Amino acid sequence: MHEDRRAPLSAVAQALLPLHKSLLDVTRADYEREHGRVPGPGMLFQLVVRDPFFAWLRPMSGLMALIDEILDDEEQFARAREADLRERVEVLIVEGSPPFAVKYLEILQVEPEVVLHHAALRKALSQL
């Protein structure tokens, strides 16, 4: 029974991954234009976690972590309301608060890959 309820939320989690990666790639490229090459994944992780340049992306990262936590914990999953989670994701990608909303909409207007991932996320959300 839980698997039937779990599938739509899992689809949202899976749709968030490539969208987040594309946003991270765009932000990394912007960062590297301004600050020089990031020497590797360890340094990139440190930048994502600590550097203000990447701070705008943290609301999405945090929401992804929350969804993963809910999917991994039976008690949390049993208490989770799909409508609330859908609303949280939709508010983030549609209304979002600055600086996330500003940067996200800016990237969405110029990066076709982000547009495709955004559409896939919207489709997954419609099933939740």
pLDDT in tens, 71-88: 999 999 989 898 899 999
At CA 11, angle to CA 100 and CA 82, rounded to 5? 75
- CA 82 from chain center: how many Å? 17
Torsion angle of C-alpha atoms 73, 74, 75, 77, degrees rounded to 10: 80
Domain parsing of the chain, residue ranges = 2-126
Question: What pTM does this model have?
Answer: 0.91
Torsion angle of C-alpha atoms 116, 38, 52, 66, degrees rounded to 10: 50
Confidence of residue 98 (pLDDT cuts 50, 70, 90): confident
pLDDT in tens, 9-64: 999 999 999 999 999 999 999 999 999 999 999 999 999 999 999 999 999 999 99
CB atoms within 10 A of CB 57: 19
pLDDT of residue 4: 77
pLDDT of residue 1: 46
